[in-house]
A and B are shown apart, each in its own frame.
Chain A
Amino acid sequence: MKIRIRTIVFLALLLAVIITGTVIFTDFLGPAFLELSNLFNIGRTRDYSFSSVVLEDMREIFTFHTVEFVYKAVFPHDYMEEGVSIESIMQTLRSGSGKIEDLLSESEQEYLEVYKLAKSIGIDIEADPFDFVVLTVIVRGGFDLSGTVYEDPGSAEREEIEHWLTVFPPEVPDREGKGRIVVKLPRAEITDIYIEDETSLSYNYPDIRIDPDGWKRLTDYVRKKSIDKILKEGILEIAASNAESFLQSFLLQAGYGSVEFTKGYEKTE
């Protein structure tokens, strides 16, 4: 009988310790239990958030977007090559002497860079290889018309205008007897790049522990890497080609018999 009572007391104590631990260290039973504990004035929880917004700046922009790349990046795994590890890198560094660039291959250098970045923002790849974050990067290509002859043809010289756009008068018609136009577009460029803002409703992956400063450094890195990747995928060529087909259909609808695009994009100085 004595043993039985002792066992029950022990179990009760164990249960109390587990519940208390849960309340303190996890969010699993914490909120529900604390609500209950509030009734007895033994526990308290307080969430607060304030936000104030102020308009800082307003400006004119003249960007014409003609293509958009949506790219999902998985940090850090997308930037760490298979077969490379921090142990092998450290081994190489310990056994050799000289500059890091000479000792490590390109993929090892990139691995080391990502490893250091991840560690500095609180993601320890070696300790917890399951930490990751998925970022949706949106890269837009097109034309920034600000500063080109298209933004303000009034102030441009006649020669400059003719360099970009030549309209042949009806006296010099095309084969079908209609007007003809020759267009030279500014150089296509990456007009915008941004990381989609996720919320707990739209983000389906596990959340990671990171502060805003770490998030800034992480997104800077992913943004830079995404530009390289998207440029390799030919964003500028697609942007230029889309603009040509848009302008062609636009000017044909407007009554021109033919629209020509001159090769080699140049930008006004």
Chain B
Amino acid sequence: MRNRIIKCNIQKKYTSFFYPRQPPGKTLGPLDISFFSNYSIEMRKSILLLFALLLLLLFAGCTGNDTERVRTVQTQIQNLLSLHTFEYIYRDVVYLGKEKSFLFFKTMDKRLLFSIDIRVQAGINLQKGFEIITERGNRGALYLKLPSPEILLIDAREDTIRQYFLKEYGGTISRLEFSDEIDAVKTRIAEDARKRGILEQARKNAEDILEKILALSGFTEITFLYPEKTDEVQEDEEIQG
């Protein structure tokens, strides 16, 4: 990553307005403020006020996010043990816009309409821990204590974006503007998926595939056990109910 120095280039401009009674032959340097003494106190106050306002405007345009440094983040590797067994695909159609007018003049009019698919995946997160209990004297029997199924992923799929129209007058659309909109519906989608029984379907599928794999390994009687209801599961059931 290249080191980049972000500079704000403020141009220093001197006009005759700032030194009205300039003594002949005197040249002002960039830091020379002796011209200031040529004004009355009221005038100095007004100039100071104007300068303060200008500085405020300049800093508003030049600092803040621009000076944020890009942090180099290394690749992070995490061990994962999750079995994703059911997926819902939602389509989200987003329309957003902003209009501004001042003195009957339209100063801004931006509008955007697009659609995007959001996928919800549910399954079992084995990283939360699981337990295997065998039955003495019965080689084919196995008790498998698994974590409760859960929604493991809600992701907006950028590759499915379809932009219908974009109008940018007096302003532009930024990435966070529309990604905030997408994010806003995620909670609603998760609730809807739970209501439709995604967790139940994920549990059934997980049991099904584990049963088949274990059957290949010689286990014929498999019993699945789940932990006692947690707040999260209760909440899921309340939503489903």
Chain B: minimal CB distance from A234 (Å): 9
A contact residues vs B (CB 8 Å cutoff): 4, 7-8, 11, 14-15, 18, 20, 22-24, 26, 28, 30, 34, 37, 42-72, 74, 77-78, 82, 129-130, 132-134, 140, 142, 145, 149-154, 161, 164-165, 167, 170, 179, 181, 194-195, 197-200, 203-213, 215-216, 219-220, 223, 229-230, 233, 238, 242, 246, 250-251, 253-256
- Whether A69 touches B76, Cβ cut-off 8 Å, given contacts A23-B102, A197-B155, A215-B161, is yes
* B181→A49 contact, CB < 8 A: yes
> What is the distance, in angstroms, from A220's C-beta to the closest C-beta of chain B?
6
Using a CB-CB cutoff of 8 Å, which residues 49-65 of chain B contact chain A? 50, 53-54, 57, 60-61, 64-65
Q: Is A67 a contact of B175 with CB atoms below 8 Å?
A: no
17 contacts between A and B (CB under 8 A): A18-B57, A20-B102, A23-B102, A43-B102, A44-B102, A49-B96, A60-B85, A62-B84, A62-B209, A69-B77, A70-B76, A72-B72, A130-B4, A198-B176, A205-B70, A219-B159, A251-B217
Give chain B's interface residues, CB within 8 Å of chain A: 1-2, 4, 6, 40, 42-43, 46-47, 50, 53-54, 57, 60-61, 64-66, 68, 70, 72-73, 75-103, 107, 112, 114, 116-118, 121, 126, 132, 134, 139, 142, 153, 155-159, 161, 163, 166, 170, 172-186, 188-189, 192, 196, 198, 201, 205, 209, 212-219
Pairwise interchain contact B100-A78, C-beta atoms closer than 8 A: no
Is B175 a contact of A210 with CB atoms below 8 Å?
Answer: yes
A181 to B213: give the CA distance in the assembly, Å: 13
Main SS at interface, chain A: mixed
Q: Is the CB of B53 within 8 A of A18?
A: yes
Shortest Cβ gap from B177 to chain A (Å): 8
Q: Given that A52-B93, A130-B6, A207-B175 are known contacts, is A47 also in contact with B158, CB under 8 Å in the complex? A: no
Contact B94 A50 (CB under 8 A): yes
A216–B15 alpha-carbon span in the complex (Å)? 49
Residue among B117, B209, B219 with the highest chain A CB neighbour number at 10 A = B209
Q: In the complex, which of the residues A71, A145, A254 contacts B217, with contact meaning CB atoms closer than 8 Å?
A: A254
Beta-carbon contact of A61 and B91 below 8 Å: no
Contact B158 A219 (CB under 8 A): yes
Residues of chain B lying within 8 A (CB to CB) of residue A34: 100, 102
Tell me the smallest distance from the CB of A146 to a CB of chain B, in Å: 10
CB distance from A28 to the nearest CB of B (A): 4
Q: Taking each of B53, B68, B175, B179, which has the highest tally of chain A beta carbons within 10 Å of its own beta carbon?
A: B175
Chain A residues with Cβ below 8 Å from B176 are 198-200, 203, 207
A4 in contact with B68 (CB, 8 Å): no
Contact of B84 (CB < 8 Å), options: A52, A63, A149, A153: A63
**CB pair B173 A209 closer than 8 Å:** yes
Tell me the complex Cα distance, A204–B43, Å: 43
Smallest beta-carbon distance A253→chain B, Å: 4
| CB of A12, distance to nearest CB on chain B (Å) | 9
Q: Which residues of A contact B87 (CB under 8 A)?
A: 58-61
Instruction: Judge whether A37 and B80 touch: CB under 8 Å.
Output: no
Contact in complex: A66, B219 (CB < 8 Å): no
| B79 and A67 contact, CB distance less than 8 A | yes
Closest 4 CB pairs of A and B: A206-B65, A72-B73, A49-B96, A219-B158
